Structure 1
C-alpha cells in the first residue's frame, strides 16, 4: 500500500512526483531543494541559507506524515560544489540528534541550486 504525503508547508516542486510516499513502515521524501513553499522560488544565496530552507521543507513534509527529523534513517545529499561540504554540515547538524541518520553526500550537477536532499524515515512505533 502506498500513500502520498502533501503539505503546503513545503515546496510542491515542479515535476511529476509526490513530496513523499508512505510505503510499509517508511516515509520516502522526494529530493527537496531551497524552494519557498509559497512562491516556489529559489531562496538563499549561500549554501547555509539553502541548506536551512531545504531541511525545513523536509521537516515539514515529515511532520505531515506524522514523523520528526529523529525518525530519519537515511539521507542522500547532492551538493553543487563539494567544497561546500563543511559549511553544509554546519547547518545539517542542527537538524538531527544522535544517532545521526546514515548518509551519502556527493557532488552533482544541480540546476541553479546549491543543494538537494532526499530522506527516508521510519514511521513512529515501527521499530
Structure 2
C-alpha cells in the first residue's frame, strides 16, 4: 500500500505529461483541488460556471468516496486508504459543500448526486431522483 513509488512512476513521465497542483486551473471554470488521504497526491476536479452566473459547482471526487454509505457515515474508511484520518477529514470537507453536484464514479448506480443534511447527518440524493426499476 502506501501509494506509488515516485521514482518508478513519476520520473518516466517527466516531460511527457504536465503535472498540476491544487488550485491550478486546467480549463476555464475547471480547477484541481488536493484531496489526499486515499493516496498521496490525490486530486479532485471542481467545475464552476466560468462566467460566474451560477453558484452551483460539480466536484468529481475520484477515490474520496467509494460507497453511498460513506456519505451517511464519513468515518467509514476504504481498505486501501493510505492515511485513513486524512481521508475522513477530506470526505467531511467535501460533504459540507453547498450547491454542489458530486460525481462519485465508484458508486454503482447513481454516480451523480447531492449531499443533503438532516441535522448532523448526511444523505445521498441522486440527481434526477430515484432510479426506476428496469
Q: TM-score range by the shorter chain?
A: 0.3 to 0.5
Mark the structure with the bigger radius of gyration: 2
Q: What is the TM-score when the length of structure 2 is the normalising length?
A: 0.31
TM-score (norm 1): 0.32
Higher share in helix: 1
